[in-house]
Amino acid sequence: MSRATAATIHLGALRDNLRRVRELAPGSKVMAVVKADGYGHGLERVARALQGADAFGVAGIADGQRLRAAGISQRVVVLSGPDDPGDLAEMRRLRLESVIHHDAQVEWLAADVDPRPLKIWIKLDTGMHRLGFAPERARELHARLRDLPSVERDIGLLTHFANSDVFDDAMTTQQIERFERALTGVEGERSLSNSAGILGWPEAQAQWVRAGGALYGISVVAGKIGADFGFRPAMTLTTRLIAINRVRKGEHVGYAATFECPEDMNIGIAAIGYGDGYPRHADGGTPVLVNGTRANLVGRMSMDLITIDLRNHPGAKIGDPVVLWGRGLPVEEIAMHADTIGYELTCGVTRRVRFVEDES
């Protein structure tokens, strides 16, 4: 029999979350960001569930290849653009759009003799200081690229927020102002907002929003979960109890003997560990659901197993279900105990976990 650990992907939740994004940004088209294998949910299954999106955003050409092979016909934007001149031909073959963010890419386009124009987006660095051109170069670059025969004349324009999850932060206001000032008089559809931008900065929604974590029901806003904004979790990670041990007071549990039993107690062993993508640094006290009721982890995480305090679960038995995150237990809460964010947890689920699709 297969290992009990499974990630259930709720396709209905993905669709509901897309509808919620449209409610929050009613005047914008939605680019559904499906990079990192659909934030760990599975690129192809996510794209099929989100076929109501206006476009998909991916990190590299390989994701575009997978989407086209799966029969996805929507617009696909490669957010990091080409890595070398040879990528331009593949982008045209697959009808991919390209973000252009540094001068080498501009020169590749200038030297390109393919008569089929490529749809591009110019990225401006308004404060993230990761990818993008200086805002003061916007007009010059737009004019040059628009005149190239290798480029479609309808050029998109975008930037990326550094701190939009802090809704009263002056930095985002400054980024919006820099973007608008740099593009005064420049034609082209704009895109500024990521998921946090959609939630906290309605003035920045523009013609396009780029929804990532929100589509998966995940919040990156401190102290908030996706449900606080009307989103539903799209992944529930589960396993089962495979042993229940009676351990005496004063005995220790797990590697390095980090937990000492304060009394005689039942310890549940569940079939999941960091080999499945559960965070190794989740602290003692991290919650799980046993038969739908909360219990806490004790002891140090191992590769294949976790240990659970069952003192408040006297009826627990081998085979009972254990929820690690998802419905009934927000992934953001688990991320807080592991000193990370929910995005990292869903992206980190490993290949030995069985994925199950569910329409709810």
Do residues 316 and 309 lie in contact, with contact meaning Cβ atoms separated by under 8 Å? no
Active-site residue 255, yes or no? Answer: yes
pLDDT confidence of residue 125: 98
Residue 204 DSSP one-character state: G
Amino acid at 154: D
AA letter at 62: A
Contact of 324 with 337, CB cutoff 8 Å: no
What one-character DSSP code corresponds to residue 59? S
- Pull the structure tokens for residue 221: 């806003």
Cβ atoms within 10 Å of 131's Cβ, excluding its own: 17
Structure tokens, 107: 């020169």
Domains of the chain: 11-224 (3.20.20.10), 235-358 (2.40.37.10)
The reported pLDDT for the residue numbered 1 is 53
Point out the catalytic residue in the list 29, 35, 119, 216: 35
Among candidate residues 29, 216, 255, 274, the one labeled active-site is: 255
Burial class (CB in 10 A: 0-12, 13-18, 19+), 3: middle
| Cα separation values, 338 from 6, 116, 160, 334, Å | 20, 49, 27, 6
First to last CA, the chain: 26
Who contacts 114 (Cβ-Cβ below 8 Å, separation ≥6)?
88, 89, 92, 150
User: What pLDDT is stored for residue 286 in this prediction?
Assistant: 98
Helix (H) or strand (E) holding 209: strand 208-211
3-state secondary structure of 302: coil
Is 224 catalytic? The answer is no
Neighbours of 327 (CB within 10 A): 20
CA–CA gap between residue 243 and residue 355 (Å, rounded): 24
Q: What is the pLDDT along the chain (360 residues), one digit of tens a residue?
A: 578 999 999 999 999 999 999 999 999 999 999 999 999 999 999 999 999 999 999 999 999 999 999 999 999 999 999 999 999 999 999 999 999 999 999 999 999 999 899 999 999 999 999 999 999 999 999 999 999 999 999 999 999 999 999 999 999 999 999 999 999 999 999 999 999 999 999 999 999 999 999 999 999 898 999 999 999 999 999 999 999 999 999 999 999 999 999 999 999 999 999 999 999 999 999 999 999 999 999 999 999 999 999 999 999 999 999 999 999 999 999 999 999 999 999 999 999 999 999 999
- DSSP state, 126? S
Give the CA dihedral 252, 253, 259, 262, nearest 10 degrees. -60
CA–CA separation, 339 vs 283, rounded Å?
9
Strand 235-247 versus strand 321-325 pairing type: antiparallel
Q: Residues, the chain, total?
A: 360
Closest listed residue to residue 218, CA positions, set 195, 193, 238, 200: 195
In terms of Cα–Cα distance, which of 151, 139, 132 is closest to 187?
Answer: 139
Structure tokens at 99: 């973000």
Q: CA 270 to CA 319: how far, in whole Å?
A: 9
Asked if 193 and 14 touch (Cβ cutoff 8 Å), the reply is: no
**Do 279 and 334 contact (CB within 8 A), yes or no?**
yes
Q: Is 276 helix (H, G, I), strand (E, B) or coil?
A: helix
